[in-house]
Amino acid sequence: MTDATTGTPPLVHEVLAAVLQVRQGSLRVLLWERALEPHAHRWSLPGGRLRADEDVEASIRRQLAEKVDVRQVAHVEQLAVFSAPDRVPGPRVVATAFLSLVPSHLDPALPPDTEWHEVSAMPETAFDHGAIVLRARNRLRAKLSYTNIGFALAPPVFTVSALRSLYSAALGYRVSATNLQRVLSRRGLLEPTGETERPGRSGGRPAALFRFLEATMAVTDPFAVLKPPSPRGTGT
């Protein structure tokens, strides 16, 4: 089918999601293995074609639920539009990509062809999906500096040490728990629950539990940047 006025085939519009989660101490992305050509047996981002009766965000939420059974997404935001004419073989396909975050305490049941992969060690991906994942990782790292987006990585309650581990995994370098608590508390993002973690077998003083005050993304310090530690010390 072609456009009657221009003689060109209509554009295909797809939506894709880079679904990220901190699992087992590393930032991971959800990918499914393609069974058919083109790029059979390469790994792809979940998604599909946009329906005529839905907007792009409704579409990606539907497809995450239907295709990979991921329903408990804490944050979804549009990442970018990928429109290179040759991004996929055959008819031109324009993709609207999203960054989606799943809190660390959730473990969605996945189809057999779908797995979590470390972002730093991805398998061979189809089309431009690897570049989309890296764009999503970089967006997340930037927003950890100047927004409260950490709520979408964390469980409902957590210790500062556990939160530090989540930030470290997402940022790609170790951050200081003391500095992280100071920064987030100064911005009014954290509050103590008044409870403590259950003591472990080794005993010791139980760690205090905290939670994020808000569960929607907001800019908290537009000029803030979390920096890697200096060679002589640690910090945020």
**Cα–Cα distance for residue pair 176/228, rounded to 1 Å:** 10
| Domain spans of the chain, in order of start | 12-143, 147-212
- Of 51, 89, 88, 48, the closest CA to residue 65 belongs to 48
C-beta separation of 70 from 102 below 8 A: yes
Q: To the nearest whole number, what is the mean pLDDT of the chain? A: 91
Query: Does pLDDT of 225 surpass 80?
Result: no
Query: Does pLDDT of 7 surpass 60?
Result: no
CATH superfamily of 12-143: Nucleoside Triphosphate Pyrophosphohydrolase (3.90.79.10)
C-beta separation of 191 from 210 below 8 A: yes
Instruction: Using pLDDT thresholds of 50, 70 and 90, give the confidence band for residue 222.
Output: confident
What is the per-residue pLDDT across 36-49, written as a single tens digit (0 to 9) for each? 999 999 999 999 99
| 145 DSSP 8-state letter | H
The reported pLDDT for the residue numbered 97 is 98
What is the per-residue pLDDT across 85-136, written as a single tens digit (0 to 9) for each? 999 998 899 999 999 999 999 999 999 999 999 999 999 999 999 999 999 9
Instruction: Using pLDDT thresholds of 50, 70 and 90, give the confidence band for residue 236.
Output: very low
Q: Which helix (H) or strand (E) holds 6?
A: none
The reported pLDDT for the residue numbered 22 is 98
CA distance readout (Å), 1 to 15, 139, 182: 22, 37, 60
Specify burial of residue 179 (Cβ count, 10 A radius: 0-12, 13-18, 19+).
middle
The reported pLDDT for the residue numbered 227 is 76
The reported pLDDT for the residue numbered 145 is 94
Instruction: Look up the CATH number of domain 147-212.
Output: 1.10.10.10
Instruction: Using pLDDT thresholds of 50, 70 and 90, give the confidence band for residue 201.
Output: low
